[in-house]
Structure 1
C-alpha cells in the first residue's frame, strides 16, 4: 500500500478509506442492513491486513454504535497511532430543540460524545456532515477551531455542500486565523459527476483532498443493473439520487460491464479505478459487507484505464439535477 498526503496537510492516509456506515446495531438508526459487531470485526481486520489505515464513520451511523464498533476494533487489532479515524457531526442524535446542527453547543457536546464512543482521546479528522443553515458560519468555524486547539481533533473536513458554502467557510477561517478544512467528502461516481463543475476544480486549486462517498453508486456500478441487494431494497436514498436519470445511468453501467469483461476483472474495479484517476481525488470511501468488496477495492489501485476506455465510460453521462443534501 502506498500512502498519500491528505491534501496539503501532513497527514498520511491510504488511498482508500473504509466507510463504517455498514457496521452498527441494525435496530438502531436508519440502516437496518448494517452488520452487528461480531460480523463487522472481520472487515476492519481485513482492511488493516490490506494496508488500509483510514476509517470513516459518523456519530449518526446506527446512533453511535458504528463509532463504538470501530473504536473497540482498533483497540483490539492495532495501535491507535497507526490508524486515521474520521467521524462526523451535524445530524440529530436525539429529539429536542438543541439536537443536531453545527452550533457551538452541538459541536462541543458531540465531539466529547464521539470521543467516548470511540474510546480515544483524539479524532484525526472531524467532518461536518452537512451545512447548517441555522447557525452563523463564524460560530461553527470558531467552535471547530477550538476543538482542534483543545487537542480533541487533529484536522477538519467537510462533506456534501454547495461550493459557495465551502468557499465561505474557508474564507471565514482565513479571515480570523482559524483552522481550515483539509478535505471534502462529496458524492462522486460515474453516474453522478456534478461535482466536476465547481467543487473538484476548487479543491484541486486549494490543495483540499477529495474523499468521495458512494464511489460505486451504492453498488449500482458493481453488478447487472436490475440485480438488487438487501440494502437496495431498504435504501430510499437510492431512488432520490439515481431514479430520475435511470436510463442514462443504466448505459454507463453497461459500459462498465463491457470494459470489465474485456479486461477480465469485476465491474467494481473498473468503476473505482475511474474515480481513483480523477484529479483531486485522494481516497474514495468504500463500503464492504463481503470479503471480495475489499479485495476488489485494493486491486483497483493497480488498474490504469486507457484514454479510450475513459472516453467510453464518460460518453453516456447526462447532467443530473442538483440534490439538496439535507
Structure 2
C-alpha cells in the first residue's frame, strides 16, 4: 500500500479510501443493496489486512448504521491511532430552521451523534456533505472551527461544492483564523471529469486533497457488458447520474476493458490506476471482499502516458447531475454571506 499526505494536514492516508456507503442496515435507509454487519466486517477486516487505513462514512448512510458497523469493526480489528476516519453531516433540515436551531448547534449535534454511532471520542476528518444555502457561511465555518478546537475532529473537509465555494470558504477561514478545508470530495471518475475544469486546478494550487467519490461510476467502470450486480440493478441514484450518457461513456468503458485485457488485470484496476494518478485518494465503495482486493492492486499499476491519453481522448463534456445539478440554481441565487450580520460579497 502507498500512503499519501492529506493536503495541508498531517494525516497520512492510504492511497485507497474505503467508502462505507455500502455498509448499513438495508431496512434503515434509502438503499436496498447495502450489506449487513457481518458482511461489512469481513470487508473492513480485509481492507485493514491490505493496508487500507482511510475510511469514509456519513451519518446519512442508512440512518447511521454505516457509522455503527464501521466503528465496531475498527474497535475490534485496529488501533484507533492507526486509522483515519472521516464522516459527514448534512445541512440543517427545514424543521431545525423552523425551530431556530443554529448552524453551529446543528453541526455539534450531528458530530456528537456520529461520535456516538462510531463509539469514538473524535474523528480525523469531518466533512461538510453538501452546501447549506440556508445558513451564512460564517456560521458554518465558525461551527466547524469550534469542533476542531474542541478536539472532536482533527481536520475538516467538504463535499459536493463548486470551486468558487471552496475558495470562498477557505478565504473566510483565513480572514477569521478558522480551520480551513484540507480536502474536497467531489464526483470524479474516468467517465465524469467535470472536476478538471476548475476544482482540480484550485486543489493543486492550494494543496487541497482530492478524495473523489463514485470512483468506479457505480460499478460501470468495473463491469463488462455481460456482467451485472445488485447495485447496478437497484441503485437508482447511480442510474440518474449515468444513464443519460451511457452511449458516449460506452466508448471509454470499452477502452478500459481493452487495457484490462492487455495488462491481464481487472477493469477496476485500470479505472482506478487512471484516477490514482490524478488525486490523493479515491473513495472506493466495496460490497465484496474482491472489490477492495482489486482496488488495492490498482495502486501498483502504473499506466503509460499513451495509455492515459487513450482512456481520456474520447471524453465529451457531461451535464452536472445529482446533488451538483441541484446546487447550480441555488448557487446562482445565493447571496454569499460571510457573517451573521448584513455583510455580503
TM-score > 0.5 by shorter chain: yes
Match of 2:330 in 1: none
Shift of 1:240: 2.1
Matches within 5 A, 1:134-173: 134-173=134-173
CA displacement, residues 78-104 of structure 1 (integer Å, 9 cap, x when unaligned): 111111100000157x883449x9811
285, 288, 291: which one aligns with 1:290: 288
Match of 1:190 in 2: 190
Q: What is the DSSP-based 3-state SS (H/G/I as helix, E as strand, rest coil) of the residue aligned with 2:86?
A: strand
CA distance, structure 2, for counterparts of residue 137 and residue 72 of structure 1: 34
Q: What is the DSSP-based 3-state SS (H/G/I as helix, E as strand, rest coil) of the residue aligned with 1:202?
A: helix
Match of 1:224 in 2: 224
Deviates more, 1:75-84 or 1:192-201: 75-84
- In the alignment, is the contact (CA less than 8 A) between 1:16 and 1:52 conserved in 2? yes
Q: Give TM-score scaled by structure 1 length.
A: 0.95
Q: What is the DSSP-based 3-state SS (H/G/I as helix, E as strand, rest coil) of the residue aligned with 1:58?
A: coil
CA displacement, residues 285-311 of structure 1 (integer Å, 9 cap, x when unaligned): 111111211111111011111111111
Matches within 5 A, 1:40-55: 40-55=40-55
CA distance, structure 2, for counterparts of residue 30 and residue 227 of structure 1: 24
Matches within 5 A, 1:206-285: 206-225=206-225, 227-278=227-278, 281-285=279-283
- In the alignment, is the contact (CA less than 8 A) between 1:90 and 1:102 conserved in 2? no
Shift of 1:221: 0.6
CA distance, structure 1, for counterparts of residue 48 and residue 234 of structure 2: 29
- In the alignment, is the contact (CA less than 8 A) between 2:23 and 2:34 conserved in 1? yes
Does residue 322 (structure 1) correspond to residue 320 (structure 2)? The answer is yes
- In the alignment, is the contact (CA less than 8 A) between 1:103 and 1:140 conserved in 2? yes
CA distance, structure 1, for counterparts of residue 184 and residue 11 of structure 2: 15
Q: What is the DSSP-based 3-state SS (H/G/I as helix, E as strand, rest coil) of the residue aligned with 2:59?
A: coil
Shift of 1:227: 3.5
Q: What is the DSSP-based 3-state SS (H/G/I as helix, E as strand, rest coil) of the residue aligned with 2:95?
A: coil
Q: What is the DSSP-based 3-state SS (H/G/I as helix, E as strand, rest coil) of the residue aligned with 1:96?
A: helix
Match of 2:342 in 1: none
Match of 2:2 in 1: 2
Q: What is the DSSP-based 3-state SS (H/G/I as helix, E as strand, rest coil) of the residue aligned with 1:125?
A: strand
Q: Any gaps of 5 or more consecutive residues in structure 2?
A: 327-345
Match of 1:96 in 2: 95
CA distance, structure 1, for counterparts of residue 193 and residue 15 of structure 2: 20
Q: Any gaps of 5 or more consecutive residues in structure 1?
A: none
CA displacement, residues 97-117 of structure 1 (integer Å, 9 cap, x when unaligned): 449x98112101101101111
Runs (4+) of structure 1 exceeding 6 A deviation are: none
Task: Provide closer, same or farther for how the CA distance between residues 83 and 102 of structure 1 changes in structure 2, counting only shifts above 3 A.
Answer: farther
Q: What is the DSSP-based 3-state SS (H/G/I as helix, E as strand, rest coil) of the residue aligned with 1:238?
A: helix
- In the alignment, is the contact (CA less than 8 A) between 1:102 and 1:132 conserved in 2? no
Shift of 1:269: 0.3
Does residue 199 (structure 1) correspond to residue 199 (structure 2)? The answer is yes
Task: Provide closer, same or farther for how the CA distance between residues 164 and 150 of structure 1 changes in structure 2, counting only shifts above 3 A.
Answer: same
- In the alignment, is the contact (CA less than 8 A) between 2:89 and 2:128 conserved in 1? yes
- In the alignment, is the contact (CA less than 8 A) between 2:216 and 2:272 conserved in 1? yes
CA displacement, residues 42-88 of structure 1 (integer Å, 9 cap, x when unaligned): 10100100011001000000000111111111111111111110000
